[in-house]
A and B are shown apart, each in its own frame.
Chain A
Amino acid sequence: MPDVSVLKCRKCGALDAGPRLLCPNCRSRALEAAQVEGKGTLLSWTIIRRAPAKMKALAPYAVCVVDLEAGVRVTGRLQAVDAALRPGARVRCAALEGGVAIFSAEA
């Protein structure tokens, strides 16, 4: 299971999904990439059927919002959508595509 790359503030330790230039908590510039476990809870998703021009080849695809156990909320995509998937489902990061976390239901 690939980790998800987030930002960690070297000064105050706050985590953020990023990208960001300053820590929104303490305004420090010292943000570094941190790897967190890709396990979390699915909050919601939708299937994008009419994609922006540069994403057209990928459509239809599912964009989702996940609360990672590490305490960061991230936007990503779902590997597959099936009827069993519900908000609140346990998901894990199955792949990374261009820096975007691709989630699938936890077995």
Chain B
Amino acid sequence: MRSVSVAGIGSTAFGRLPNMPIEALAVEAAATGLEDARIDQREIGALYLGNFISGPLTGQEVLAGIVGDNLGLPNVPCTKVEGACASGGIAFRHAVLAIATGQCDAALVVGVEKMTHATTPDVTAALNCAMDNRADGVSGLTFPGLFGIAWRVHTQRYGTNREQVSAVVMKNKRNGLKNPLAQMGANLTAEQIAASALICDPLQLYDCCPASDGAAALVLVASDRLDRKDRVDVAATVQTRGAARIAGHPDLCSFDATVQAARRAYEQSGLSPKDIDFVELHDCFSIAEVIDSEDLGIAPRGKGAVYAAEGRTAVGGEIPINPSGGLLAKGHPVGATGVGQLYEATLQLRGKHPNQVQGAAIGLTHNLGGTGVACTVNILKRSDA
């Protein structure tokens, strides 16, 4: 398998972008990525586009072909992939494989979603497409509900409290203030968080990420084709499947898909959690960051929230998590999120991030979809690391 590198990156802001239809978001991010890569669009051999709910929310499908056409790509395969909130990470992995196996020398990855024009019940209904509707759907479960259920188990087993989980929210919201692409950076107090509306006990309003519009893109190339001093290489890319229904999880506060993906990514890269300099992980809810950090081996089991409360996961701490602000502050345009994480990781490894982790050489991204039914874990590293 050939080594693959990130040659260029592009992103729109994440947030409420009423004047940008879905295809405009995708094309804008992709065009910026091509410019950053200093590559002609005719050199692109494949396009993979991650998107989840463009059908129900915008009435537009075949987005990969539409974006390829607008960019003036040659007659190459343009493929939309869907894995709920992990759609972007899956698109990335497929593009890496296309180059690694010699199908092409350069590929474009785009992630995009358009959500803020729709009403909350319509967005909730669309997001619920990520559930096995024959099983969990009929009970009335929602995604915040899934994480409310997980939180209660975490509290019972490890004693995790409101204040510790609030540390995750405060950290990510604060990180978001430094990221010009972020939708909802804020300086929040523990009191404000504890006073916010209950959504799905014990989950409250500030524990939830917003709905967002946005797109991100990466240009990937075979490493030996890239002459760039700040080259960023793909050290591992792994995709796994977990339970498609909540009752299918052997443990209600751990996602097997994440545990397995992380284990394989460390194996593939020859690295261990100790080698990772920063993490961009799937904090769709505050408690998700707690669980993810444990599943990824970044925090000891049961200590994810304590790690945040002790400042270990802040920028400047021993293992910064979500210096971009994460989904909680940067926003969650569902299909774009996984690609957005890789965009942020690449900026960190180039040493150009607005919330820079000093000396960052190796970064990990984690993207989780549905009830933990789809997961990708990627490790990027500076070529001189």
Instruction: Give which listed residue, B124, B152, B203, contacts A53 with CB less than 8 A.
Output: B124
Task: Write out, one digit per residue, whether chain A residues 14-26 have a CB within 8 A of any chain B CB (1) or not (0).
Answer: 0001110000000
Q: Is the interface of B mostly helix, strand, loop or mixed?
A: helix
A44–B154 Cα gap in the complex (Å)? 10
B161 proximal to A (CB < 8 A): no
CB atoms of B139 and A52 under 8 A apart: no
A30 proximal to B (CB < 8 A): no
B150 proximal to A (CB < 8 A): yes
A100–B269 Cα gap in the complex (Å)? 45
CB atoms of B245 and A75 under 8 A apart: yes
CB atoms of B138 and A99 under 8 A apart: yes
CB atoms of B135 and A49 under 8 A apart: no
A37–B145 Cα gap in the complex (Å)? 26
A52–B140 Cα gap in the complex (Å)? 7
- CB contacts under 8 Å to A, within B4-44, are none
B198 proximal to A (CB < 8 A): yes
Task: Write out, one digit per residue, whether chain B residues 135-157 have a CB within 8 A of any chain A CB (1) or not (0).
Answer: 11011111011001110110010
Instruction: Give which listed residue, A49, A55, A73, A99, contacts B200 with CB less than 8 A.
Output: A49
CB atoms of A48 and B153 under 8 A apart: no
A43 proximal to B (CB < 8 A): yes
List of A residues within 8 angstroms of B148 by Cβ: 46-47
CB atoms of A86 and B138 under 8 A apart: no
Q: Provided the pairs A19-B135, A65-B252 are in contact, do residues A50 and B199 lie with their beta carbons within 8 angstroms?
A: yes
CB atoms of B136 and A75 under 8 A apart: yes
List of B residues within 8 angstroms of A52 by Cβ: 121, 124-125, 128, 140, 142
Instruction: Give which listed residue, A46, A51, A64, A75, contacts B135 with CB less than 8 A.
Output: A75
List of A residues within 8 angstroms of B136 by Cβ: 75
List of A residues within 8 angstroms of B139 by Cβ: 63, 75-77, 100
Q: Give the shortest distance, in Å, between B196 (CB) and chain A (any CB).
A: 12
Contact count band on A: 20 to 34
List of A residues within 8 angstroms of B62 by Cβ: none
List of A residues within 8 angstroms of B245 by Cβ: 17, 75
List of A residues within 8 angstroms of B134 by Cβ: 19
List of A residues within 8 angstroms of B318 by Cβ: none
Instruction: Give which listed residue, A45, A73, A74, contacts B149 with CB less than 8 A.
Output: A45
Q: Provided the pairs A51-B142, A73-B247, A100-B139 are in contact, do residues A44 and B128 lie with their beta carbons within 8 angstroms?
A: no
Q: Which residue of A lies closest to B246 (CB)?
A: A75
CB atoms of A49 and B247 under 8 A apart: no
List of A residues within 8 angstroms of B128 by Cβ: 52
CB atoms of B140 and A63 under 8 A apart: yes
A87 proximal to B (CB < 8 A): yes
B268 proximal to A (CB < 8 A): no
- CB contacts under 8 Å to B, within A71-98, are 73-77, 86-88, 98
Q: Give the shortest distance, in Å, between B197 (CB) and chain A (any CB).
A: 8
Q: Which residue of A lies closest to B157 (CB)?
A: A87
Number of B residues, CB within 8 Å of A: 32
B201 proximal to A (CB < 8 A): yes
B189 proximal to A (CB < 8 A): no
List of A residues within 8 angstroms of B60 by Cβ: none
CB atoms of A49 and B140 under 8 A apart: no
CB atoms of B252 and A44 under 8 A apart: yes
B120 proximal to A (CB < 8 A): yes
A11 proximal to B (CB < 8 A): no
Q: Give the shortest distance, in Å, between A66 (CB) and chain B (any CB).
A: 9
A58–B248 Cα gap in the complex (Å)? 25
CB atoms of B145 and A63 under 8 A apart: yes
A31–B375 Cα gap in the complex (Å)? 30
- CB contacts under 8 Å to A, within B144-176, are 144-145, 148-150, 152-153, 156
A56 proximal to B (CB < 8 A): yes
CB atoms of A47 and B201 under 8 A apart: yes
Instruction: Give which listed residue, A18, A43, A49, A88, contacts B199 with CB less than 8 A.
Output: A49
Closest CB pairs A-B (n = 9): A46-B148, A73-B247, A53-B121, A44-B149, A46-B200, A55-B140, A44-B152, A75-B139, A19-B134
A interface with B by C-beta (< 8 Å): 17-19, 43-56, 58, 61, 63-65, 73-77, 86-88, 98-100
List 12 interface pairs A-B (beta carbons < 8 Å), by A numbering.
A43-B252, A46-B144, A46-B148, A47-B148, A47-B200, A48-B145, A52-B125, A63-B145, A65-B252, A75-B135, A75-B136, A86-B156
13 A-B pairs besides A49-B198, A61-B140 with CB distance below 8 A are A43-B153, A44-B150, A48-B142, A50-B144, A50-B199, A51-B124, A51-B140, A52-B124, A52-B125, A52-B142, A53-B121, A53-B124, A98-B138
